[in-house]
Amino acid sequence: MAYVRVCLFMALLPVPLAAIEWAFAASGSGLSLLDTSGAGQITLYVAILLSIVAFQRLVARDRPFGYLVHYLRHWRRGLGGFVAMAAFTFGVAAVFLSAVGLTGHLTISPEALARLDAAVMFATVIAIPIAFVLAFAEELIFRAFLLRYLRWNTTMPVTVGAVGFSSLVFALSHNLASPFSWLTADQGLLFVGLFVLGVVLSIAYLATGSLLCSTGIHAGLLMVEVTRRTTDLLVVVPGHWLAGVGQDVRMAPLSWLMFAGLGAIVLALRRPLARRFAIERPVVSRGLVRAP
C-alpha cells in the first residue's frame, strides 16, 4: 500500500503545482516552476515540501517536524557529518577530474582562465551556498521522505525496493518539462548517471544513519559542478564513450564509476561513519527519533 499511496501522491501533486503556474502566468511575473534557478525553482521546492508535510501528517501519520527537531537537537553530530562528507566528496571529485585530465578528456580553458577575476570568483562564492540549500531540499524530498517512507523495515527486499524506486523518481524529476526526452540517446545517458547518483546518495543515508551525510556528498558534487560552470575553466573533450557526449559530466560513464566508488567507500566505512555521525538508527518510516 505504501507504493500505491506514493504513486497517488505523485499523480495528484501536479494539481497544486499547476495552480501556482497559472498564478504566475496570470500575474505576468515571468516566473515559472520549470525555471532552473531563481524564485521559480525555489517556489517549486517549497510547494513540494509543503505537500510532503501534508502527506506525512495526514496519510503516513508521521511527524515531519519531529524529524527536523530531532536533527536540530543533534546539530553538532549532523554538521560534522555534513562537513566531513562534503570535504571528502570534493577531494575525491578533484582527484577524479585530475585523473581524467591526464587522459586528455578534460582540459583547462585558456580563455576562461584569462577572464577569471574578482567578479567571477564572487559569483562562484555566492552560488555555492545556494547549491547547498538545493542539495538539502532534494535530500529532504527523495531520501528523508520517499526513501524513508518506503523502507518500513530493514529487510533486503524492502530496502532494495525503496532505494530503487526513490532513485528512479529522483532521476526522472530532473526533466519535468520534457519527460519523453529521456528516450533519446543523450538524455538516456543522463538518466543513468542521475539514477546511479540517487542510489549512491541513498546508500550514504542508510549506511551512515544521517541525512546530512548524504546531503554532504550531494553538496560536495554540486560544489565541484557549480565551480566548473561559473568559471568555465574545465572543458570536457569528447572522443571516447567513457568521457560522455557533452559538457554535462553526469552523462559520462567515467562519472558513474566515480559515483559508484563514493558509494563503495561509504559502505566500506559504514561502521565508523555511523558511530561518529548517525542520528537515525535505523532509517525506516516512523523509525526515529532517538539519538545513537
User: Which of 14, 36, 61 is the last residue before a domain boundary?
Assistant: 61
Of all residues in the chain, what percent carry a pLDDT higher than 70?
95
Residue 90 has pLDDT above 70, yes or no: yes
Residue 66 lies in a domain: no
Residue 290 lies in a domain: no
Residue 70 lies in a domain: no
Same domain, 106 and 162: yes
Residue 124 lies in a domain: yes
Same domain, 143 and 253: yes
Same domain, 13 and 110: no
Same domain, 55 and 123: no
Same domain, 98 and 179: yes
> Residues 184-198: pLDDT tens digits?
877 888 899 999 999
> Residues 257-282: pLDDT tens digits?
889 999 999 999 999 999 999 999 88
Of all residues in the chain, what percent carry a pLDDT higher than 90?
49
Residue 135 lies in a domain: yes
Same domain, 94 and 166: yes
Cell representation of residue 260: 559508484
- Count how many domains the chain has: 2
Average pLDDT over residues 11-33: 91
**241 — pLDDT class (breaks 50, 70, 90):** low
Cell representation of residue 34: 520549470
- How many other CB atoms sit within 10 Å of the CB of residue 79? 14
Residue 101 has pLDDT above 90, yes or no: no
| Closest C-alpha among 206, 221, 198 to residue 85 | 221
Same domain, 106 and 194: yes
- The pLDDT mean for the chain works out to 87
Residue 120 has pLDDT above 90, yes or no: no
Residue 12 lies in a domain: yes
Same domain, 129 and 268: yes
**15 — pLDDT class (breaks 50, 70, 90):** very high
Same domain, 264 and 126: yes
Same domain, 32 and 161: no
**247 — pLDDT class (breaks 50, 70, 90):** low
Average pLDDT over residues 129-150: 93
Average pLDDT over residues 218-247: 76
Domain carrying residue 104: 75-277
From residue 98, give the alpha-carbon distance in Å to each of 33, 209, 242, 249.
36, 31, 15, 14
In this structure, what are the phi and psi dihedrals at residue 37, rounded to the nearest 5 degrees? -165, 170
Same domain, 172 and 51: no
- How many other CB atoms sit within 10 Å of the CB of residue 243? 21
Q: What is the pTM of this model?
A: 0.91
Average pLDDT over residues 30-34: 87
Residue 292 lies in a domain: no
Predicted local confidence at residue 287, as pLDDT: 62
Predicted local confidence at residue 246, as pLDDT: 60
- Length in residues, the chain: 292
Same domain, 146 and 246: yes
